[in-house]
Amino acid sequence: MTPAPPNPRTCCATNDKVSQAAWQQRYIEGAIGWDRGKPSPQLHKWLADEAIEPCRILIPGCGRGHEVIALAEREFSVTGIDFADSAITYLRREQRLRKLQFDIIQTDLFAYQPSEPFDAVYEQTCLCAIDPSQWETYEQLLCCWTKPGATLLASFMQSDASEGPPFSCDLKSMRQLFPASRWHWHDTIDRVEHPTGMHELACRLTRNSG
Ligand SMILES: C[S@@+](CC[C@H](N)C(=O)[O-])C[C@H]1O[C@@H](n2cnc3c(N)ncnc32)[C@H](O)[C@@H]1O
């Protein structure tokens, strides 16, 4: 069953390391080790495997938006959201230069309410950027933002560190966070190397009906 939309008043991060200012500061300092400077190879794999076809897709925490651009170039109707000024400025400039059509929304994702639900969400290291105390709210939002049967393509960051960000999204915790009652997990899970030396686990989920 789709959970009720979370109450924004319960969604405020109290951890300074995950505040808008902290993320903006990382962009200003160039401390953006997560940024590949190009789309993740996993996105190319999912496209080649036809795990996803052109549709209305949301990318929360899109950063500088390499995947927003790659999907827009392939006829997807893309919405990218992020709250960091520098990331949004970069993406807007790329959009102008490339003359591409997509929506960029600068907002805290916990305040985001789309006018209509999406067919798919591309979640690439956004969850690991959020304080774990907010993960359940984020999962509820993903349900609210999507249609029954929607696809969730998720690249979950794996880290040995006890602190974050990035907060480690180990598979056992992810299976609890995205329970079988709401999400069908497809069998294939790919390991994706990350420029930081860490790696992601790429999982494809389908939102259950009802
Ligand atoms: C680790 S980076 C990943 C960026 C991009 N997905 C990638 O893989 O290159 C996390 C991004 O999420 C954004 N972010 C974190 N918390 C957010 C929030 N509450 N609302 C909107 N954006 C957020 C940060 O500004 C940052 O750009």
Atom of ligand 1 minimally distant from the CA of 130:
16
CA of 116 to the centre of ligand 1 (A): 22
pLDDT at position 210 = 65
Is 164 inside any structural domain? yes
- How many CA atoms are closer than 13 Å to the CA of 7, on its beta-carbon side? 2
Q: What is the structure's pLDDT at 9? A: 42
CB 39, CB 70: distance < 8 Å: yes
Between CA 161 and CA 130 the distance in angstroms is 15
Nearest CA to ligand 1 atom 23: 61
pLDDT reported for residue 162: 84
Identify the residue whose C-alpha is closest to ligand 1 atom 10. Answer: 126
The region that residue 65 occupies, defined by phi over 0 for left and psi between -120 and 50 for alpha, beta otherwise, is: left
pLDDT digits (tens, 9 = 90+) for 148-182: 999 999 999 999 888 899 999 999 999 999 999 99
Residue 37 falls within a domain, yes or no?
no
Query: Residues 66, 134: one domain?
Result: no
Q: Quote the pLDDT of residue 161.
A: 87
Residue 36 lies in a domain: no
Number of domains the chain is built from? 2
CA–centroid distance, residue 66 to ligand 1 (Å): 13
